[in-house]
Amino acid sequence: MTGRLNSAQPYALGLFRIVVGLLFTCHGASSLFGVLGRESVETGAWPNWYAAVIELVGGGLVLLGLATRAAAFVSSGAMAYAYFKVHQPQALWPIQNSGEGAAMYCWSMFLLVFTGSGAFGLDRLLARRSSERDERPREQAPVAA
């Protein structure tokens, strides 16, 4: 049983990344563009507008599995900032200060920093193509006499 679960790990991780990236992207889009039942934030307003841009771009990159580790690192940091600057001063526990979302996004993205994109990611596809290109035999240039 453990062997089968271990072999499915990259696929479960890939699905996890896709869901987290999609939800994070939706959160950013709703804040920036006023869609999905939310009002948009004022352009350039600190820190809400910048957080929304990070959510949209970082979430999109994580969703696609492109530059996953870097995007997840920046996104995790943004959510840590949001939690400690916005939510935590109101109360100690996330359930008390409505910071569950920020905490979960922070730790989910932090996990992706260490695991990478898993299956279905463009990172993996591009790495495979790059290694295949490097493994092709190169034509020998004629040696001048």
Give me the percent of the chain exceeding a pLDDT of 90: 79
d(CA 144, CA 6): 54
- Write down the mean pLDDT value for the chain: 92
Q: Return the CA Rg of the chain.
A: 20
d(CA 11, CA 55): 24
Rounded to the nearest 5°, which phi and psi values hold at 84? -75, -25
- Write down the domain spans for the chain: 21-125
pLDDT in tens, 69-116: 999 999 999 999 999 999 999 999 999 999 999 999 999 999 999 999
